[in-house]
C-alpha cells in the first residue's frame, strides 16, 4: 500500500508539475512535503501575483556551469505550453513588460491549478511529512518518513534551493546528492540585493528609497554582463531589478559599473553647454537624475549645487560625468539567502540526463527545479525552468 511508482519530495512548482504529469500518464505518485502550507514560494512570488513564465524564455536566460543543459527540457515544454494550461484553467493574466506574465488575481490561482492537475493524476499526498532518510535497496528506493516507510521505483527530488529558509527552504536536495555521490556546484544566493561597507555607504544611505533606470554591468570581456533595469537605493546598499539581475553574475571582490544616466554623455553635454547652458549644476543634473540623488552625487564630489558650469574647468565636469556615467563600486557581499529569490549553483548538471533529469550514477533518482545548477534571470524564467524540468522528469519516471 505504501509502494508507488514515483515519490516526489517537495510539492513546490517543479514537484507538483512533475507529479501531475507522471500521474496523468497512469503512474502511481506520492507527493511528500514537510510544509503545512504548500507551494509557499509560488504564493509570495511576483508580489503575490506570480510571474509564472516569460514569453521569451530561452537557454540564454539561465546561469549554469553548462549553459546548454537546460535547452532540451525548455524546448520540450515552452512558455506557450504553460500558457495553454493557464488558459484551460481560465486563469486571467496580463503581460507586464519584457514578456513577463502575471496572474490578474492572485498566485493562489496557479497553486489551485497545479493541485487540480495533480488531482487528475490521482496523486497521493503526504503533508506535512518529514523525510528522515532515503536509501536504495536494489531497484527500490526506501524513504523513512514521519508517516512511516514509503517505497518507490523512482524518486524525484524537488525540494528547491536554500533561499528564504523562514518559509521552509532546506538543503535536503544537496544532502541527498552528496549521499549518492553526486557533485554539486557550490550554491550561492542569486537575485539578491547587494550590500556595501558601512562607512563607505554612509553618504548614500540617506538616498534610500530612490529608484531610477540604469545600465549596470559586471565582469570582463567574455564574462561581461549588462542589464538596463531599475535600481533601488536601500539603507545598506542597492536593490531593484538591475541589482537582482547582476547579482547572479557578480563575483565577490570585483566591481560593478553603473551608468546612472543611460544614453546621455553627461560630462560631454556639460562641457558643450558651457556657453549656452546658463543654469546651475543642481538644476542641470536634475534633468537626468532624481534631485536627491543629484545632490548626493554633488556632495560626494565636493561640488555645490549652485555652481555655474561656465565657471568650472572641463576636467572637473568630465570627472563629474564619469561619476554619473561610470559609477564604479565594489559590494562587500549580499543580503544572503534571507533575501535571495533563488539559489545559484546546485546539483552539477554533468551528473544528470538532459532528457529525464535522472542521475546517471543512480538509476531512478531525479533532481528538478531550483535544486539543479540552472538558475534563471529575474522575470518568470525560474518558474519556466521549474515547469519544464518537472515535465521532463514526469514524462520519464
Q: Which residues bind ligand FDA (CB under 6 A)?
A: 9-15, 32-35, 39, 41, 44-46, 50-51, 131, 158-160, 163-164, 168, 170, 172, 341-342, 369-370, 380-383, 386
b/e map 302-334, b = 16+ CB within 10 Å: ebebeeebeebeeebbbebbebbbebeeebeeb
Strand 225-233 and strand 211-218: the pairing is antiparallel
CB neighbours (10 Å) of residue 122? 12
Query: Which residues are within 8 A (CB) of 272 and not within 5 positions of it... i.e. 6 or more apart?
Result: none
Measured from the CB atom, the residue of 270 and 397 that comes closer to ligand FDA is: 397
Give dist(CA 115, CA 106) in Å, integer: 15
SS3 253: coil
* Cβ distance to ligand FDA smaller for residue 159 or 195: 159
CA count, 13 A, side-chain hemisphere, 30: 24
Least separation in angstroms between residue 47's CB and ligand FDA is 8
Least distance (Å) between residue 166 CB and ligand FDA: 10
Nearest to 26 by CA among 2, 5, 50, 52: 5
Would you give the DSSP letter of residue 205? G
Nearest residue (CB) to ligand FDA, 61 versus 298: 61
Beta carbon nearer to ligand FDA, 320 or 386: 386
Q: How far apart are CA 200 and CA 215, in angstroms?
A: 22
Minimum separation from the CB atom of position 250 to ligand FDA (A): 18
Task: Return the half-sphere exposure (C-beta side, CA atoms, 13 A cut-off) of residue 293.
Answer: 22
List Cβ neighbours of 311 (8 Å cut-off, separation of 6 or more).
none
CB of 264 to ligand FDA, least distance (A): 32
Q: Is the Cβ of residue 35 or residue 286 nearer to ligand FDA in the bound state?
A: 35
Closer residue to ligand FDA, CB minimum distance, 258 or 374: 374
CB of 13 to ligand FDA, least distance (A): 4
128 preceded by a cis bond (ω within 30 of 0): yes
With respect to ligand FDA, which residue has the nearer C-beta, 157 or 266? 157
Cβ atoms of residues 333 and 195 within 8 Å: yes
CB of 368 to ligand FDA, least distance (A): 7
Q: Is the CA virtual torsion 177, 178, 180, 182 positive or negative?
A: positive
| 3-state SS, one letter per residue, for 51-82 | EEEECCCCHHHEECCCCCCCHHHHHHCCHHHH
In the complex, minimum distance from the CB of residue 308 to ligand FDA, in angstroms, rounded to a whole number: 47
Residue 391 forms beta bridges with which residues? none
Between 50 and 70, name the residue whose CB sits nearer to ligand FDA: 50
- Based on CB atoms, which residue is closest to ligand FDA, 103 or 323? 103
**Residue nearest to ligand FDA as judged by C-beta position:** 12
Q: How far is the CB of 147 from ligand FDA (least distance, A)?
A: 12
Least distance (Å) from ligand FDA to the CB of residue 101?
Answer: 10
- Residue corresponding to grid cell 494550461: 85
Q: Kindly state the smallest distance separating residue 307's Cβ from ligand FDA, in Å.
A: 44
Label the pairing between strands 29-32 and 3-9.
Answer: parallel
Amino acid at each position: 500500500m505504501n509502494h508507488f511508482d514515483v515519490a516526489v519530495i517537495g510539492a513546490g512548482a517543479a514537484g507538483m508539475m512533475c507529479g501531475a504529469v507522471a500521474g496523468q500518464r497512469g503512474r502511481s505518485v506520492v507527493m511528500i512535503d514537510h510544509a503545512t502550507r504548500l507551494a509557499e514560494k509560488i504564493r509570495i512570488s511576483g508580489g503575490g501575483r506570480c510571474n509564472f513564465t516569460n514569453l521569451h524564455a530561452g537557454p540564454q536566460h539561465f546561469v549554469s556551469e553548462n549553459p546548454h543543459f537546460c535547452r532540451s527540457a525548455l524546448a520540450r515544454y515552452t512558455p506557450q505550453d504553460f500558457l495553454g494550461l493557464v488558459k484551460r484553467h481560465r486563469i486571467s493574466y496580463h503581460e507586464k513588460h519584457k514578456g513577463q506574465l502575471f496572474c490578474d488575481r492572485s498566485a493562489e490561482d496557479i497553486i489551485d491549478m497545479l493541485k487540480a492537475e495533480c488531482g487528475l493524476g490521482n496523486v497521493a499526498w503526504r503533508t506535512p511529512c518529514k523525510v528522515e532518510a532515503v536509501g536504495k535497496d536494489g531497484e527500490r528506493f526506501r524513504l523513512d518518513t514521519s508517516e512511516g516507510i514509503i517505497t518507490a521505483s523512482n524518486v524525484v527530488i524537488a525540494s528547491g534551493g536554500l533561499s528564504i529558509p523562514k518559509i521552509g527552504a532546506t538543503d535536503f536536495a544537496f544532502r541527498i546528492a552528496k549521499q549518492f555521490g553526486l557533485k554539486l556546484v557550490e550554491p550561492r544566493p542569486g537575485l539578491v540585493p547587494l550590500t556595501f561597507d558601512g562607512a563607505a555607504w554612509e553618504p548614500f544611505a540617506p538616498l534610500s528609497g530612490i529608484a531610477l533606470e540604469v545600465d549596470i554591468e559586471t565582469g570582463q570581456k567574455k564574462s561581461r554582463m549588462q542589464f538596463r533595469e531599475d535600481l533601488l537605493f536601500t539603507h545598506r546598499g542597492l536593490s531593484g531589478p538591475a541589482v537582482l539581475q547582476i547579482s547572479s553574475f557578480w563575483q565577490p571582490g570585483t566591481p560593478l559599473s553603473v551608468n546612472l544616466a543611460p544614453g546621455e554623455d553627461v560630462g560631454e553635454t556639460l562641457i558643450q553647454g558651457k556657453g549656452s547652458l546658463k543654469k546651475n549644476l543642481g538644476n542641470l543634473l536634475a534633468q537626468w537624475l532624481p534631485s536627491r540623488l543629484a545632490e548626493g552625487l554633488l556632495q560626494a564630489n565636493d561640488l555645490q549645487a549652485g555652481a555655474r558650469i561656465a565657471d568650472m574647468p572641463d576636467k572637473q565636469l568630465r570627472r563629474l560625468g564619469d561619476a554619473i556615467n561610470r559609477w564604479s563600486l565594489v559590494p562587500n557581499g549580499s543580503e544572503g539567502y534571507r533575501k535571495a529569490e533563488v539559489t545559484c549553483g546546485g546539483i552539477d548538471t554533468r551528473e544528470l540526463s538532459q532528457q529525464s533529469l535522472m542521475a546517471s550514477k543512480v538509476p531512478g533518482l531525479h533532481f528538478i527545479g531550483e535544486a539543479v545548477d540552472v538558475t534563471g534571470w529575474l522575470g518568470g524564467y525560474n518558474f519556466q525552468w521549474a515547469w519544464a524540468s518537472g515535465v521532463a522528469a514526469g514524462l520519464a519516471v
